[in-house]
Structure formats: C-alpha cells, structure tokens
A = this chain, B = another copy of it.
Amino acid sequence: MSAVNLTAELVRLQTETAKFQHDFTDNVNSFFLCSMALIIFFMQCGFAFLEAGAVRSKNTTNILIKNLLDSLIVIIGYWAVGWAFAYGESANETVGLFVGHSQFFLAGYTDYSKFFFQYVFAATAATIVSGAVAERCEFACYVAYCLIISTIVYPFLAHWGWNEHGWMAQGITSGVINTKYDDFAGSGVIHLCGGAISLLAAWIMGPRIGRFPEDDEDESDEILGHSVPFAALGGFILMFGFLAFNGGSVGSLSNEGDGQIVALAMINTILSGAFAAITYLIVYFYQYGKWTLLLTLNACLSGMVASCAGCNKMETWGSVWVGVGAGLIYLALSRLVRKFKIDDPLDAFAVHAGGGFWGLMSASIIAKGGIVYALFDLITGADNSGDFIKASFAQLGWQMICALAIIVWSLVIMYPVFAVLKKIGKLRVPEEIEINGLDVFKHGELAYPLRAYGHGWHEFENA
C-alpha cells in the first residue's frame, strides 16, 4: 500500500476500534450493572422472608405487603425526585455540596443502568426499617416513612458521600492530609442510615404488647417468630444478594483490574460474614449451650454489612477482623437495645447500624492504606511513616465525622415525621388490632386460612 492508503486504512482502523471499544465497554458496563442490580432487587424478597419468619402468623401478610410495596413505592419516589437530589447537577457550587436538583423524573437523563443500580440501593435503604416496626406499625406510617427515606433521607446522603460534588466525598485536603469519605458499598449511607432510623422508629413506637413482661426472666422467649424456615430462606437470599451488592458496587468493568475487584469484594463479603457468624455462634454456645440459627444468621448479615465499606481494598486477612468485630458489636448492641426495653424485632439497629458503623471504621483501620498499615510502617521504620500515621488517623477522623453526620441527618429528618404521625394517631395500630393481628383487620387476608387446610383421604392419613 502507498503511504496515503496506509494512512487512510490506519485512520479507519483507529476509528473503528475506538468505536467498538467505546460501544462495547458501554454495553458490558450496563450489562454488569443490570445483572448485579437484578440480584440486589431480589434482596427485597430476602428481607420480606427474614421478617415474615420473625413475626407471628397473625401479622405475616402485613409484613409481606410492606416489603412488596417497598420496591414499588421507592421506584416511584426515587424516579420522581430521589435521583435528582442524589445525582442531579447543581449550578450553585455551595448548594451542590449538599444536594442536586436536576433530572427530576429522569428528564434528559439516559444513563439508565446507573439509575437502575442506584434505585435498588435506595430500595434497600428504605426496607431495613420495616423489621424494626414490625407487628404494630400503621400502614399509613409505613408508606410515609418509606417515601421520605427514598426521596429525601437517603438521596441526600448518597449525594454527600457518593456524588463527587458532595461535601463528604470532597473531604479535607491540607498538607499530607487528604481525607475523603470512604464507603465503597454503603456501610454508612445505606446501613447506618437505615439502622439509625430503625432504632428511632422502634423507640418512638414502643414495644409490642407483651414484649417486656413485668417478670423479666423469660423475656427473650416472650415473642417468637412463626417460621424459622422462612427466616432462613430470607437469610440465604440476603447473603446471595449481598455478594452482588458489594461486587456490583465496583460499578464498571472499564478499568484494568475491575473484574478482580468485583471478585475480591465478594470474597471479603462472605469471609466477613463467616467470621462474624462463627464468632457469634461460639460466644452464644459458650453462654447458653445452644447453637442458634436465627441469631447466627443476623450476625452473618452484620458481618456482610460491615464489609460493605472496605471490601474492595481489604486484604482477605483483614476480613477476619471485620467479621469478628461485626459479630461482637452485633452481640453487644442487640443486648443493649433489649436492656433499654426497645423492641426491635429483627435487630435491624444492631445488624445495620452496628455493622455499618464498624464497616466505616474498619475501612480506615484495617483496609489497605489504613491505620494498621501506617502502624506497621512506623514499627518497621519505613520512610514517611509519620506522615502516613497522620494521614490515616485524619481519615479515620473524617469517617467518624461522616458517620455522625449520617446519624444526625437521619434522625433530624425522621424524628418530626414519626412525631407528627404519632400526634395524628397514624403511627401505631390500636391495641385491639395489635392483639388480634393486622392481617385480618388491615388486609382481609390471613396468611394461613384454616379452611384452606384439610388433608382429605382419611384412610391414607390414618394408615
């Protein structure tokens, strides 16, 4: 070929290759986000059954419809305004530190896979609370808090922590210090937020009738869930979903090594969950002589929650400590809550706030670049170890500030909501309904109508 032809051919090849790479990367990234989002979406089913198994049969339909509506209310709320607050642009830089305000109803926005992925995260944030208010929450209250969490509370937090313009994401830069909110998959903005609201809701709502009898002795046995298998089913689905939750948070497959980070995140998630569960199981067995399934499952979930923040850069040995810590924190918090006679039927606070907070801390302590690494450098006398120490402690401090901000924001918005609902009598169902169960009165649907049972063929039965 002549030089002219060669040039033309080369340019053509360059153009074609660039187009292929661009299109294909886009398509594969979308596929990745959508497939992970699908599995995260299925976590709604997991929460539904974890909670359905943990309530009495008379409130089963109620808890199921709550969880079904979660995903449906949140898609409407997040599509209408939530996304705009979280990821919309703001012309004003100062406003932009706190909230976005464009792309309402997705107007003009076409990166659908990112939206879809963010939607399933929002749905998760909203659904955590339903466990804490189970068996006594008014339907109107549920719809209200669900809408407000998905349109205001969570979107603002996502903006602060995950939008590049947000104040937590921007952090502080000064000398060797360069802090940035570090929360890969939402230990803070999702789980700590949901967990904090859970505690608030459970506290304002008060315990279920009969939950804390005068005679304190047999408290832990007082109200039992009606189906261990359903709770276990929910737990399995949540574990399945958590792997996608944390793996999917890589968010793209465009950069070198992205795929391996997906896998690393998944490994750290299951490792952390495993160590949390085993730790809890052993402590519990040591104390009570029983191998508890339900609480071990909760411990496992709290380990997975804790792994959210740093699973992308944690070395696998680090997950041992993330897990052990999460298991113990869950143990401590769940007992503390009971001590204060706050009735959180699903331990939503202990699992999500405890795991979430420890996740934020451990990401600055144990994950690569964290305090443990700085101390190791200091001890081995590496260069600049003093700066490293300073920077890593500053980072931990910033994480704490952000954790505090998340808690305060969640409570400041939600307290008035619950207070108003209480005022107007829409917070909690009347005593008669609570005692007889919400299913019949509120939904007209018994979970297990007696008349639908009957085994027939008596000869067979008696054989």
Contact = CB atoms under 8 A, between A and B. Distances in A.
Interface of A: 1-3, 6-7, 9-10, 13-14, 16-17, 19-21, 23-39, 41-42, 44-45, 48-49, 52, 56-58, 60-61, 64-65, 68-69, 71-73, 75-76, 79, 105-106, 110-113, 115-116, 119, 139, 218, 221, 223-230, 232-233, 235-237, 239-240, 243-244, 247, 253-264, 266-267, 270-271, 273-275, 277-278, 281, 288, 290-294, 296-297, 300, 316-317, 435-437, 439-457, 460-461, 463
Given A76-B271, A293-B445, A447-B227, A56 B453 contact: yes
Contacts of A294: 445
A37 B69 CA distance: 26
A264 B448 CA distance: 38
Given A232-B48, A293-B64, A317-B105, A441 B463 contact: no
A249 to B, nearest CB: 13
A115 to B, nearest CB: 7
A23 B224 CA distance: 52
Given A6-B6, A34-B266, A57 B441 contact: no
A164 to B, nearest CB: 21
A296 to B, nearest CB: 7
Given A25-B24, A452-B224, A460-B440, A30 B262 contact: yes
A7 B3 CA distance: 9
What number of copies of this chain does the assembly contain? 3
Contacts of A75: 267, 270-271, 274
Nearest to A273: B72
A163 to B, nearest CB: 20
Contact of A239 (B56, B71, B278, B442): B71
A116 B57 CA distance: 39
B32 A278 contact: no
Given A26-B259, A68-B235, A456 B436 contact: yes
A37 B235 CA distance: 18
Nearest to A275: B76
Nearest to A272: B75
B253 A27 contact: yes
Contact of A264 (B14, B112, B228): B112
A353 B348 CA distance: 41
A297 B450 contact: no
Nearest to A114: B263
Given A2-B3, A64-B293, A262-B113, A448 B26 contact: no
A103 to B, nearest CB: 11
Contacts of A34: 247, 259, 262-263, 266
Given A288-B444, A436-B456, A116 B267 contact: yes
